[in-house]
């Protein structure tokens, strides 16, 4: 595998639940993000100043200063993407209602894959609009905006959980969808078996090592023209799987 030379995306995680934060940090680091943690609202603002992160993951209920106030404060001086996180949907209603300037929001408990998709989506949107002089400051991006992932003839809409292959919609069960999403995000590069299992099942993986192969087989039967000679998802023996990026 070729090592990536791009600087890692720096993420400020603001979260006061100790039991939650360690696992989250490990998982995000595995995704290639560089993580700084703040455990209350005031620390969040300090860390923000020191680290100048590329993205902020911000819990709503925090000691010392609420996530909503932190969001407002950051937004008054920066257009950094902010994703609000809350255990209660009503708090998120408040976030949206007050238009505090967050780019997106997720409610706990969330699927880790969903969080990462949303993070990548806000980063993509921010990068796309970074050079756009017309982009008004403070404009919040609607959560309804779709995050689409397209490689060759395969498209995934992660927000809608839709998959289109060669122009036809294909229904995919959740795990197969997540496997495909993981492979598409790394199209052209090998994803190791361990990485796939970690990212799609996490600690829930209870099956033997064949569980992954069974899912890959089913996924191929749905998206490959000839599942016995897969052209989209190839097996890298002893390592993992690769989604083949089309040659340009």
With binding defined as CB under 5 A, does residue 61 bind Ca ion? yes
Site string for Ca ion, 184-203 (x = CB under 5 A): --------------------
* CB contact at 8 A, 192 and 171: no
Alpha carbons 248 and 246: distance in angstroms, whole number: 6
Shortest Cβ 17–Ca ion spacing (Å): 6
Structure tokens that stand for 15 in this block: 């979260």
Shortest Cβ 13–Ca ion spacing (Å): 12
With binding defined as CB under 5 A, does residue 65 bind Ca ion? no
Site string for Ca ion, 4-23 (x = CB under 5 A): ------------x-------
Quick one: 108 or 161, whose CB is closer to Ca ion? 108
With binding defined as CB under 5 A, does residue 43 bind Ca ion? no
Quick one: 13 or 216, whose CB is closer to Ca ion? 13
Among all residues, whose Cβ is closest to Ca ion?
61
With binding defined as CB under 5 A, does residue 59 bind Ca ion? yes
DSSP output for 45-71: HHHHHHH--SEEEEESS-SSS-HHHHH
Shortest Cβ 91–Ca ion spacing (Å): 10
Structure tokens that stand for 231 in this block: 């052209």
38 strand-pairing partners: 14
Which helix (H) or strand (E) segment is 210 a member of? helix 210-223
- Residue 248 DSSP symbol: -
Q: E strands, 100-165, where?
A: 104-107, 148-151, 154-157, 162-165
Site string for Ca ion, 113-152 (x = CB under 5 A): ----------------------------------------
Shortest Cβ 62–Ca ion spacing (Å): 6
Quick one: 16 or 185, whose CB is closer to Ca ion? 16
* CB contact at 8 A, 118 and 106: yes
Size of the site for Ca ion (CB under 5 A): 3
Scanning 56-64, 72-80, 119-127, 146-154 for contacts with Ca ion by CB under 5 A, the matching segment is: 56-64
- Helices (H), strands (E): how many in the chain? 8, 12
Shortest Cβ 41–Ca ion spacing (Å): 10
Quick one: 4 or 19, whose CB is closer to Ca ion? 19
- Residue 147 DSSP symbol: -
- Residue 204 DSSP symbol: G
C-alpha of 176 from chain center: 17
Q: Which residues bind Ca ion (CB under 5 A)?
A: 16, 59, 61
């Amino acid at each position: 595998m070729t090592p990536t030379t791009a600087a890692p995306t720096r993420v400020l995680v603001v979260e006061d639940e100790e039991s939650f934060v360690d696992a989250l940090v490990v998982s995000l680091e595995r995704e290639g993000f560089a993580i700084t943690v703040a455990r209350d609202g005031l620390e969040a603002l300090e860390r923000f100043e020191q680290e100048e992160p590329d993205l902020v993951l911000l819990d709503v209920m925090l000691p010392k200063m609420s996530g909503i106030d932190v969001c407002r404060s950051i937004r008054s001086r920066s257009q950094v993407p902010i994703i609000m996180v809350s255990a209660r949907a009503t708090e998120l209603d408040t976030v949206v209602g007050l238009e505090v300037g967050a780019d997106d929001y997720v409610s706990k408990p969330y699927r880790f894959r969903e969080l990462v998709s949303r993070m990548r989506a806000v980063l993509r949107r921010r990068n796309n609009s970074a050079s756009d002089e017309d982009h008004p400051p403070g404009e919040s991006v609607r959560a309804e905006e779709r995050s689409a992932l397209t490689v060759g003839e395969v498209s995934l809409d992660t927000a809608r959980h839709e998959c289109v292959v060669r122009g036809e919609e294909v229904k995919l069960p959740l795990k197969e969808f997540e496997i495909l999403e993981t492979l598409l995000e790394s199209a052209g590069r090998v994803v190791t078996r361990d990485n796939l299992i970690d990212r799609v099942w996490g600690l829930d993986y209870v099956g033997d090592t064949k569980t992954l192969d069974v899912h890959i087989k089913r996924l191929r039967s749905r998206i490959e023209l000839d599942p016995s000679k897969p052209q989209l998802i190839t097996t890298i023996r002893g390592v993992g799987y690769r989604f083949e990026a089309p040659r340009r």
